[in-house]
Structure 1
Amino acid sequence: MRKKILFMVLCLLSQWTMAQKDAPKWVDKSKKAVFSVVTYDENDKLLNTGNGFFVSEDGVALSDYTLFVGAARAVVINFEGKQLPVQTILGANSMYDVIKFRVDLGKKSTPALKLAAVVPAKDAEAVMLPYSTKKERACTIGKVEEVSNLAGPHKYFKLAMSMKDKLVSCPILNSEGEVFGLVQKAASKDTTHCYAISAPYANELVISAFDFNSSELNKIGIKKALPNNEDQAMVALFMASSQLSVDKYSSLLNDFITQFPNNADGYIRRANFIFSNYSDAQHFAQAEDDLNKALKVSGKKDDVYYNRSRMMYLSAIQNKGEAFKSWTLETSLEDINKAIEINPLPLYTQHQGDVYFAMTKFDKAFECFDKVNHTNLASPETFFSAARAKELMKGDYKEVIVLLDSAVSRYAAPYPQAAAPYISERAIVKSDNGLYKEAVADFDIYHQIIGSGVNANFFYLREQANYKSRNYKRALEDIMKAVEMEPSNKEYLAEYGAVNLRIARYDEAIKNLKDALAIDPKFAACYRLIGFCQLQQGKKTDACENFNKAKELGDELVIPMIEKNCK
């Protein structure tokens, strides 16, 4: 493939270049900075060929943007005929059709053109250098005919020299051998003139954080470089995290750490990335090493301890695996305690409470959440966490409800969807503690918020609150909806039967209960309830038969009924 490409390029060169007897002496050296570019699509098929040139000895180069559109990879062929891969895109402008990129030179350097510090005047000499592997002074000499404004101090040039399309992106130099222009594709059929855009302008192109959402750069599949500014690079990492594949994002993280080796956030991000995507021992060792490096370079060690504690916490509750077995809730607690000792931020205290909660130390967890609720970090989530801890430590249910009230009060009525989980939890706590009518009111608010998104369990829970508050009509409506949504749920069918029994609809109740038994023939309570319905219908023998069946299956509640009715 390499020989075929080189042969093709050399054949084209025979048509493009023109030997000049009076060519400047510096042409020999300068031509070594000019190269051919070959781009390939995602299927590794040849996409385009063109030209470009180096503007720095470490591999920074310029060419035309159009050449790279759709490219998944690219190589340059230098003056020696060697193929070198394009490493990263450093900037681009589709409107002016220019691109800046870095070529991977390995450990070597390359001949490069010096950028002109002064804009050439009208009638100044201009020399266009084509790509060539031949040791000859092949070039095209002409003059600057017009100079137009471009951007800032930069210009656009009309040159009195002949040029063919295959010379697009070749360099235009002044009489001193300094590059001032980049040949652009002609917009007309005028063969006696060509046009060039300022090379210093193209060299000033940079990548910003927001270029990771840039449509013009996203048309190129070659990796984008990170911004030179550290803060911008951090933003770019964040934006790229949701756009790139695992392999590409991993490569970008490595680039960030190479570019900013003293930035602790880079190591923390890579450790988080490894934790989220891998579970083997080798990657675990790398994550630990990154966190240790972050501790070494960070000026905010509390932040590193906090982040490491979070990863340990998640590893423990997610059961990450054998490789991560040393990351436990105990080690997580040790690290968050170190962070709090350095800087007692409410955020750290909240996480400390989460760790205690996972350790089932609900009293300590509550103390942490309560502290946070007296800071500016207090939120519906922190009040809810405190309520759950208070409930699980068997605290006063009234205090639990007050905490849930605080969570809900952070929102204004009509309540948004974000308030729904707290209202639902408050309804359940009220129902569990005998406040049935208040529970129903909360369930109704929850239903208004969620609308058609409520599930069968919601109707079942509200039915129970309605039933216990003796609102049998609404209880029946709710349990019917629950059964309609999950017709094979034996608990809902049994409850449906119980409600029908309560309002003396015995035939309907028996049908519901038998439907539940069809799913689970050992559902003892259903036999007891069927027997009760039959007793009300005067079918004492059938009733006793079902009572005895319930007793056989272990239902102790049926014993008094047997003693009273089945002697």
Structure 2
Amino acid sequence: MKERKYLILLLLFMPLAMLATKIDKNTSKAMLTVTSYDKNGKIIRSGCGFYISPDGYALSTYDIFKNAHRAEVTDSKGKKAKVIRICGANSLYNIVRFRTESTDVSTLTLANDKMTKNDAATLISNNIKTLPVVTTVVTDISDIDSMKYYTLQKKVDNKYSGCPVLNSRGEVAAILQTNQNVKNTNSYALDIAFEKLLRTNGMSAAEIALNSIFIPKELPADEPQARTFIFFLTQNSKDTLTYLTAMEDYINAYPEQSFGYTQRATYYASLGKYAEADNDLKQGLTNATDKDNLHYEASKLIYRLNMIKGYQQYQDWDLNKAKAEAEEAYNFNQQPVFTLQKADCQFALKQYAEAFESYQEVNTSSISSPQTFGAAAISAEMAKMDSSIVLAMLDSAVNFYGTPHPKSVTMYLIQRATHLDKYGRYKEAAKDYQEVEDLSGTKNLNDNFFYLKSLCDTRARLYMRALTDIEKALSMKPDDYLYLVEKALAQWRMGNYDEAVYAGQKALKINPNGADAYKAIGLALGEQKKTAEAIKHLTKAKELGDPQAEALIQSLKDK
């Protein structure tokens, strides 16, 4: 009977006995104390970490690194090493993968197999004197996609957070989680396979968790992903060190690519550090193989600088230099985008005829667009070319959208309407204005649009529509002097003379010295056979400088 009881007790406690994983010297050597610092050098937090690869990659908790500007690790022998890159972070599961400056370090072996229920588990800390080895057992397992989340029998202090959880073979099967609920009687551990997800990719620069750590990030291993990462870094990171380190890493990894040199040159130029930007461009010319793109980016950089008001020219970095760089890019590779860049430079140099020819060359290529036809139209106008050429370009811009026209065509419809109006083709202009209103909706257009539309309607002899449009303008800006005068004239043309006088009088309340308002009232009164009053108002208009008033007065006297 006693033997049987002993056997039962042995079976009950056998799992705990099996938990005693041997802690060898290499295991201890792989353990780290991780310490983080703020921007002033003050310690934020210290905790457990451990090496997972010989080239200095390690794991620890996110809590240690959040808001950190610097971090270091101390191994079991007291040797310190800087944390030089953050490789991935997850705030939900409180884990960070990072790289130190150390290489050829002792590491823990990561388990390939998952633990199962009732498996032995051992917790080892970075300081076994104050946080001794803990033996426990897996009591429950949850699934996180293809990974596991383990419940451990023993509850331990949160100082163990980030410590490795070893299986019976001494391999890291999980990393201990922070226990958020003080009433819990268990501990929890995250599958070590999760560390495989802690890799930067193109979108990582937009991650809140990573951006809350101000230590440089590791570039994605894939070159296109690295480019995307740097692009988003410029949009999301305000950390100069992080950005410049990423650029340096990219250039070191891909010295044959122009991207790194041109991106960093653009960054330096934005700070007014033109010599540094120039040096990067020259370095790129020496090392990069895609020299066409380097010249193209240099052209865009210099062009943008010259478009900034108050730019103090650096050496020969003027618009002619920008144009020359675009031409050099084209000499290396006859791409239409380089011709487009040259056209923009020519336009900025007021070389309008040359710009028109360049835009037209682009318009026969695969990158033609409403924008390039629109630019050609403006260039033709500025070069004083025939109106038929300008309108042909605007027709092409509008027709590029196909029919029925989408709302996005309205910008070019307005441009064409303005030019048709200017060239005396009023009914065609009025048609374009009306289409803009139909596509956009009245509420989405401003008062100035309806004022211009009303003027065009008048010239097209669409008097009723002209009155409707000026009333729309006034509904948006009821106390505008010019709009009230135009309404008075519209009412006069429609034969609504009382309304014309009323609108004119409202205009005079806003501007008592408005010659146009006096003239509009005079015209309406004249039609009402109120000659004396009409002459009185027209005389006032004449005194205020209206050039037509004298002739109108004379015509009334001759009747």
TM bracket, shorter-chain basis: 0.7 to 0.9
Percent of paired sites with the same residue = 30
TM-fit CA distance, 1:469: 2.4
Given the two structures, how large is their TM-score scaled by the length of structure 2? 0.77
Q: Is the 8 A contact 1:172 1:183 kept in 2?
A: yes
Alpha-carbon offset, residue 383 of structure 1 = 1.5
Matched residues in 2 for 1:458 and 1:264: separation?
46
For the residue of structure 2 that corresponds to 1:322, the secondary structure is: coil
For the structure 1 residues 493 and 85, does the alpha-carbon distance in structure 2 shift closer, same or farther, using more than 3 Å as the test? farther
- Which of 128, 132, 140 does residue 127 from structure 2 map onto? 132
Per the normalisation by structure 1, the TM-score is: 0.77
Distance 1:498 1:252, change over 3 A: farther
- In the other structure, the counterpart of 1:510 is 501
Using the TM superposition, give the Cα deviation of residue 552 of structure 1 relative to its aligned residue in structure 2, in angstroms: 3.9
Task: Write the distance in 2 (CA, Å) between the matches of 1:449 and 1:225.
Answer: 49
Pick aligned residue for 1:209 from 191, 202, 207 = 202
How far apart are residue 69 of structure 1 and its match?
A: 8.1
Query: Are residues 1:313 and 2:303 paired?
Result: yes
Q: Which runs of 5+ in 1 are unaligned?
A: 1-21
Superposed CA RMSD: 4.6
Question: Is 1:393–2:383 an aligned residue pair?
Answer: yes
Q: 1:383 aligns with which of 333, 350, 373?
A: 373
Q: Which residue of 2 aligns with 1:272?
A: 266
Q: Deviations over 1:5-28 (max 9, x none)?
A: xxxxxxxxxxxxxxxxx987x63x
- The match for 2:97 among 100, 103, 108 is 100
Tell whether the 8 Å contact from 2:233 to 2:243 is kept in structure 1 after alignment: no
* Aligned-pair CA distance for 1:555: 3.1
For residues 250 and 515 of structure 1, the distance between their equivalents in structure 2, rounded to whole angstroms, comes to 61
Once residues 431 and 315 of structure 1 are traced to their aligned partners in structure 2, the CA distance between those partners, rounded to angstroms, is: 36
Q: Residue 522 of structure 2 aligns to a residue in which SS?
A: helix
- The range that moved more, 373-382 or 80-89, is 80-89
For 1:225, the aligned partner's letter is E
Cα offset for 1:478?
0.6
Distance 1:533 1:270, change over 3 A: same
Within 5 Å, which residues of 2 pair with 1:167-566?
A: 167-171=160-164, 180-181=172-173, 183-185=175-177, 197-198=191-192, 202=195, 205-214=198-207, 217=210, 224-245=217-238, 247=240, 250-251=243-244, 253-257=246-250, 259-260=252-253, 262=255, 263-275=257-269, 277-278=270-271, 280=272, 283-322=273-312, 326-451=316-441, 452-565=443-556
> 1:155 Cα deviation (Å)?
10
- Kept in 1, the 8 Å contact 2:216–2:246? The answer is no
CA deviations over 1:266-288 (Å, ceiling 9, x no partner)? 2212233344x43x4xx233222
**Superposition map of 1:53-132 within 5 A:** 53-55=50-52, 59-65=56-62, 67-68=63-64, 71-72=67-68, 75-76=71-72, 78=74, 79=76, 86-92=83-89, 98-103=95-100, 105=101, 109=102, 112-116=105-109, 129-132=124-127
Check 1:49–1:524 CA distance in 2 against 1; reply closer, same or farther (3 A cut): same
- My pick for the range that moved more, 552-561 or 216-225, is 216-225
| TM superposition shift of 1:101 | 0.9
Which stretch of the first structure deviates more once superposed, 555-564 or 354-363? 555-564
SS of corresponding position for 1:90: strand
Say if 1:72 and 1:145 are closer, same or farther in 2 by CA, change over 3 A: closer
Q: Deviations over 1:474-498 (max 9, x none)?
A: 1111111112212343322221122
Paired letter, 1:503: M
Question: Which amino acid letter does the alignment assign opposite residue 261 of structure 2?
Answer: Y
Matched residues in 1 for 2:113 and 2:363: separation? Answer: 68
Task: Quickly say closer, same or farther: Cα 1:539–1:74, change in 2 above 3 A.
Answer: same
Larger mean Cα displacement after TM superposition, 213-222 or 347-356: 213-222
Please report how far the alpha carbon of residue 557 of structure 1 lies from its aligned counterpart in structure 2 after TM superposition. Answer: 2.6
AA at the equivalent of 1:208? N
Q: What is the SS of the residue equivalent to 1:306?
A: helix
Query: Does structure 2 conserve the Cα–Cα contact (< 8 Å) formed by 1:264 and 1:293?
Result: no
CA contact (8 A) 1:71 1:222 kept: no
1:77/1:212 CA distance change after superposition, 3 Å: closer
Q: How many matched pairs?
A: 528
